[in-house]
Structure 1
Amino acid sequence: MTAATQRRRRGRGVPAAAASLLAVLLTAACAATAGGGTTPAAPHRSAHPTAGLIDTQAADPIRIRVPSIGIDAPVDPLTVDAKGVLPAPTSFHRAGWWRAGPEPGERGAAVIVGHVDSYRGPAVFFRLPTMRTAAKILVDRADGSTVVFAEQRIERRPKDAFPTDSVYGRTADAQLRLITCGGRFDQVQRRYLDDVIVFARRIR
C-alpha cells in the first residue's frame, strides 16, 4: 500500500470518536499574539460515485490564487498531531490545507486555512472578508492542473459556535472552504473571537 493510499484511506474514513477529538483549524492562526481558536473536525465521510465537475483522485494543492483580492500564496499540507490538533500554517504568508480531507476538486468540502494578520501586519488571508460573491478562487495542484471555484457566500461565526455541519458536511459536488480569523480581537484572551468562512463551489 502506497503512502498516498494510506493517507486517502485515513482521510475518507474519520471515525466519529476521532472526529470529536480533532480541534481542527486556526490554533494560533490569526496573529502572532493571538491564540486563535479551534473549530470542530470534519464528520465522517463515505465514498460516493463521481459525476460532472468532480475528480475521482486529485493531486495535492500547492498554491491558492484569488485575483480579485490579491491573494497568491503557496499551500502546505497540515496534519493533525498526536492530540488531534491541526497546527496553524507555520508562515503568515502561506496557506494550509487540511490533508485528511478531500483534495480541492474531489467530491466534498476541501478546507484551506490561513492567518489574517501578525505582529508585522496583514497576513495571507487579510482580505478574505472583502471577497465579493462569485469571485474566482484558483487552486493550482501538484500535477500542473488548476481547479477553479466561485465564492457563494461568506459567513462570520463565533469560535464557540463554529458551523461544523455546513463546513464539513457531505456535498454532492466539489466544494471549497477558506477559513481565517475575524471579528473583535480580545486583548485579555489574546485571540480573535470569530472565524470568517468562505463557501465556494467548483465551476471548472
Structure 2
Amino acid sequence: MAAALGGLTRLLLAAAAVVAVVLLVLNDDGGEPSAFRSLPPSVPVQVVVPSLGVEAGIDPVAVSADRVLDPPEDVDRVGWWDASAEPGADAGQTVLTGHAVHTGGGVLDRLPAVRPGARVDLRTDEGLMRYRVTDVETLGRDEVAARTEELFGQDRGDGRLVLVSCTEWDGAVYRSNVVVTARPLGEPRPAARL
C-alpha cells in the first residue's frame, strides 16, 4: 500500500512539473509579472516593439478638420491620439500612429511585418503597460473609412491597443494602411477606484 501511494505521489509530482513547464512556455513575458493593466491610466510616453526593433517617444496628436489622424512631423516619433484612451484605462482603446517612409527611416516602416503574439510595451509616467498583438490587417483607404468606428472608436470596453501606419507604396502614394491590434495583459483597474 505504501509503495502504491509513493508511486502515486511521484506521478502527481511529475504531472505538476509538466504543467509548470507548459505554463512557463505559454507565459512569454520575460518572467515579469502580468499586472501591466493594474496601473492607473496615464499618457503614453514611449512605445517599444522588440520584434521590430522599435523604441520611440510618443507625442499627443489630434484628428484634423478633414478627419485624418496624422502622425507627428518627426518620422522618428509615434503619435498618440489624445482623444483615445490612456494606457491602463478599462474602457476605450489606445490609438497610436507613426510614419512609414517609402525610402526608409520611418518609425513604423516595418509595422506590416509584426506577427500575432508579438509583444508591445507602452511606458507611461505610472510604469509599463504590456500588450500582445492579436491581429494584423492591411486595409485599403475605403475600408478604413468604412470601419473607422470599429477600428478606432472609443466605445469599446476592452482597453486594447491599436497601431496604424501606411503601407503599399505605389510609387506616388501609399494605397493602404496596416492596422495592428493588441490586447492588454493583466487585469483592468478602473479609474474610479484610483
2:125 counterpart of 1:139? no
CA distance in 1, matches of 2:180, 2:102: 21
TM-score by structure 1 length? Answer: 0.65
Match of 2:58 in 1: 75
CA distance in 2, matches of 1:136, 1:53: 12
TM-score by structure 2 length? Answer: 0.68
2:160 counterpart of 1:160? no
Amino acid at match of 2:182: A
Structure having the higher strand fraction is 1
2:182 counterpart of 1:200? yes
- 1:100 pairs, out of 83, 106, 129, with 83
CA distance in 2, matches of 1:176, 1:94: 17
Match of 1:122 in 2: 105
Amino acid at match of 1:129: P
Cα deviation 1:52-76 (Å, max 9, x = unaligned): 9756951110000011110100000
SS across alignment from 1:122? coil
SS across alignment from 1:89? coil
- 1:78, distance to aligned residue in structure 2 (A): 0.6
Larger Rg: 2
CA distance in 1, matches of 2:101, 2:66: 26
CA distance in 1, matches of 2:38, 2:156: 14
- 1:161, distance to aligned residue in structure 2 (A): 1.7
Cα pair 1:109 1:167 within 8 Å, conserved: no
Match of 2:45 in 1: 62
Unmatched tracts of structure 2, length 5 or more: 1-34, 187-194
Structure having the higher helix fraction is 2
Cα pair 1:88 1:96 within 8 Å, conserved: yes
CA distance in 2, matches of 1:63, 1:156: 24
CA distance in 2, matches of 1:111, 1:134: 19
Cα deviation 1:73-125 (Å, max 9, x = unaligned): 00000124566554431101100000011112212211000001155x23100
- 1:185, distance to aligned residue in structure 2 (A): 2.2
SS across alignment from 2:41? coil
- 1:183, distance to aligned residue in structure 2 (A): 1.7
The percentage of counterpart residues that share the same residue type is 30
CA distance in 2, matches of 1:66, 1:85: 24
Aligned residue pair count = 148
- 1:142, distance to aligned residue in structure 2 (A): 2.4
Superposed CA RMSD in Å reads: 2.3
